[in-house]
Chain A
């Protein structure tokens, strides 16, 4: 850490009220030059709000902000940026159709003789990205690059705005391990240059790897500020959720039914050479009632594609699907729903929720769609169903008439789950149901999945987190390069390492020991 004497940023007594929610209540926060400071908390704790206040996206109701010794109050993101506060947001908000260079300099293009100096833009973009160890064609459209590259471009843009304070909101959620290390190297360099970095993530390990200090928020209030070195994992989690977290341990102890016992019955779903050109190679997969089948694989390995074929979101052009032994055509989501298949997409915002509708409307949407427009669900029945699931899944705030947009990510995910659970599915497909949500909500959702499967629901569980897949699944399907390469029974000797080996080698390493 560089100079610890004087914080570059001090926020005191910050308050912010939203309709129905007190998002921030007297929160203090400080940031020193040359440190990485992790902002931690569950969904809805107020992390995003605090960041938006700091970057001028929201005005504050009370409190003071001091930047480099001067009191400031940002009226807009532009003002904040000009003052040296540069955010990189969770959802990358750049323009996919513009070139990389244009994205870096949009809104502040260097000019020569009154016209835009394209040569300078390209040259400076290349230099900037090289600083981030990225050597790419800066004239290509941003959308042609992977999410990881796009993330780096967003950071390049942020650091070029002579940032005193760099805000990274969940920058690693779409990056793989190497890319994360690359990002951390860049963060360390920036730190050495005296930039203060505010880092938000749900990955605890990353916090311990990179952060110097941690500030924990809970329910819009400050819990405390701690040096990372003096805080154990357990203390941190406890501070975030407010009481001892025992759900995860509980889950481990619960006995999973034996795979062989499950598979002795007849399967609910059986695919025979099901595939779609350019999307996923033909695969055979069976899921039994009460069985959780996990899908593991890297980003883009075809996990989501399997789910979409089974739900009819994409149309298969090869093979067949048998449900309860009968061949069925799953050509549309409606057809799949008619066979009691439900699918929670990994993209909550674009493929899941209708954000301007209320919690109630979002929850009953699928059931209503099945019933058709002529048979509205009576208000009384809606109220009962919605109230039941709001309390069962602990959706907060527990107000069915709030627009779902006002809810935090974890609660939005629960709304989506509730939507499908009330349709009483026999197969529930969950694509990254715990991505970007906090430890507490994550444990709740895992527990819910385990409980549902015990009650006889067949579950297809997709997650980038291997631990999670291993904890829940009876069987793990491994995908690589858009191909289902192995199906591993989740016995005691199956661990993350063996799954990783399988992903890496394209076949089960334990059986093909030679490699």
Chain B
């Protein structure tokens, strides 16, 4: 009994508890409306089901949010990811539609490579503006957010480029070994990010830079290099998401691809428990946050919320989620004082006086 309550308390105070709980509630809420919501089956060697849809459609947001997390951890922000998504998709589709054989794997690889290289250049541009020139991140990336839509328009020549390429469709809509390919890409990106952040020293250097930039400089950290790297990485993530999104709809739309994605990604990061003030970040929280947002979109369709109220519904849910995450709010509403995290009893016995 006491062990159970102790375990429960540990679970509740875990930093991923609330994002996970919200996601669970969203999924269970769907079960009430759609009894076979949790049902997963293998059809034609592919996994099918509502949960798989959430993962598959949420994959681009997960990837973008990973990049956004490390940017936010340095006390920055990247508003240009939506535009980068459009540019990346536009360039890939243009290269493929211009090539003679749209189904040639080589041609698609070239298209993907070019799109990702361009995304890296865009990330470098942001990094240069923020770290090199010292423009505030929100302004620096606003430039590409606005200008990027224009670049995407230029690439597509103002049209929607439609393609018909089986290898390209694999990225966003295809399957590999029964799993949706986009989900696999997202998993690889999560693993890569986690590796870079926690198995190298990048994570702690990013957190130090975001937590106290001047102290980090005086500790010998190359804060500029770190900054450039996170914006580069964020650009790459957005580029990958751009491929997934354009691949899923077989077309590139310079105007609407990735529209408002930056806001969803920032929201995912915040719901996941990373502070906009920089410093400590949580990749697990971000993944949960992105899935919450996608689950919410799915819920809107399955529950049958009228389209004209969709945005409002989402806004209300997000507000509630953010409030639930706040310890101060919970204390007010549920009438509990914020409990200090349980600890080992203090150590009066160990008091040793300096000699």
Query: A residues engaging B (CB < 8 A)?
Result: 17-22, 25, 59, 219, 241-243, 246-247, 311, 313, 333-334, 337, 343, 345, 350-357, 361, 365-366, 368-377, 394, 396-398, 419, 440-441, 443-444
A353 near B215 with CB under 8 A, answer: yes
Instruction: Bin chain B's interface residue count.
Output: 35 or more
- Residues in chain A near residue B211, CB distance under 8 A: 354-357
Chain B residues with CB under 8 A of A352 = 215, 218
* Distance (whole angstroms) from the CB of A56 to the closest CB of chain B: 14
Complex CA gap A199/B217 in Å reads 36
Complex-state Cα separation, A18 to B204, whole angstroms: 25
- Give chain B's interface secondary structure class: loop
Instruction: Return B85 CB to nearest CB of chain A, in Å.
Output: 28
> Do the beta carbons of A243 and B353 come within 8 Å of each other?
yes
Pair A353/B212 contact, Cβ less than 8 Å: yes
Which residues, 337 to 355 on B, are CB-close (under 8 Å) to A? 337, 340-341, 343-344, 346-348, 350-355
The complex places the Cα of A443 from the Cα of B217 at a distance, in Å, of: 30
Can you show 22 pairs from A to B with CB atoms below 8 A apart? A17-B346, A19-B340, A19-B343, A247-B354, A333-B217, A333-B220, A345-B218, A353-B215, A354-B208, A354-B216, A354-B279, A356-B279, A357-B280, A365-B208, A365-B216, A365-B219, A371-B201, A373-B201, A374-B201, A394-B352, A394-B354, A397-B347
Instruction: List chain A residues, Cβ under 8 A from B279.
Output: 354, 356-357
CB distance from A439 to the nearest CB of B (A): 9
**Footprint of A on B, CB under 8 Å?**
199-202, 204-205, 207-208, 211-212, 214-222, 226, 279-280, 337, 340-341, 343-344, 346-348, 350-355
Complexed CA–CA distance, A394 and B353 (Å): 9
Q: How far is the CB of B116 from chain A (nearest CB, A)?
A: 22
State the CA gap A105–B350 with chains docked (Å): 47
B200 to chain A, nearest CB (A): 5
Our pick among A59, A366, A371, A398 for the contact of B219 (Cβ within 8 Å) is A366
Nearest A residue to B345 via CB reads A22
Contact assessment for B200 and A374 in the assembled complex, using a CB-CB cutoff below 8 Å:
yes
A91 to B353, CA, bound (A): 27
| In contact, A334 and B220 (Cβ under 8 angstroms) | yes
With known contacts A246-B355, A371-B201, A19–B212 Cβ distance under 8 A: no
Contact between chains at A366 and B220 (CB < 8 Å): yes
Let me know if A369 and B215 touch, CB within 8 A.
no
Give Cα distance in the complex from A82 to B79, angstroms: 44
CB distance from A477 to the nearest CB of B (A): 22
Q: A365-B221, A443-B354 are in contact. Are A376 and B215 (CB under 8 A)?
A: no
Least CB distance from A354 to B in Å reads 4
Q: Inter-chain contact count A-B, CB under 8 Å? A: 111
A368 nearest CB across to chain B (Å): 5
Residues of A within 8 A of B216 (CB): 354, 365, 369
B279 to chain A: closest residue by CB: A356
Q: Which residues of the partner chain B approach A441 to less than 8 Å between Cβ atoms?
A: 354
Please name all residues of chain A whose beta carbon is closer than 8 Å to the beta carbon of B220 when the two chains form the complex: 333-334, 337, 366, 369-370
Looking at the assembled complex, report how far the CB atom of A498 sits from the nearest CB atom of chain B, in whole angstroms. 32
Contact A355 B212 (CB under 8 A): yes
A243 is contacted by which of B207, B341, B355 (Cβ under 8 Å)?
Answer: B355
A355 to B211, CA, bound (A): 7
Report the bound CA distance from A320 to B201 in whole Å.
34
Tell me which of B211, B217, B355 has the highest count of chain A C-beta atoms within 10 A of its own C-beta: B355
Chain B residue nearest to A370 (CB atoms) is: B220
- Which residues of A sit under 8 angstroms from B202, Cβ to Cβ? 373
Determine if A368 and B201 form an interchain contact, defined as CB atoms under 8 angstroms apart. yes
In contact, A350 and B201 (Cβ under 8 angstroms): no
User: What are the 7 A-B residue pairs with the smallest beta carbon separation, nearest first?
Assistant: A22-B346, A369-B220, A376-B201, A354-B211, A242-B353, A369-B221, A440-B354
Closest residue of chain A to B229 (Cβ to Cβ) is: A373
A350 touches B343 (CB 8 A): no
Q: Which residues of B contact A361 (CB under 8 A)?
A: 204, 207-208
Write out the residue numbers on chain A whose beta carbons fall within 8 Å of the beta carbon of B347. 397
Give the most central of A59, A356, A375: most B CB within 10 Å. A356
Interface centre among B279, B344, B354 (most CB of A within 10 A): B354
User: Is the CB–CB distance between B280 and A356 below 8 Å?
Assistant: yes
- B354 near A351 with CB under 8 A, answer no
Query: How far apart are the CA atoms of A76 and B125 in the complex, in Å?
Result: 46
Residue numbers in A under 8 Å from B346 (CB-CB): 17, 20-22
Residue of A whose beta carbon sits closest to that of B216: A354
Chain B residues positioned under 8 Å from A365 (CB to CB): 204, 208, 216, 219, 221
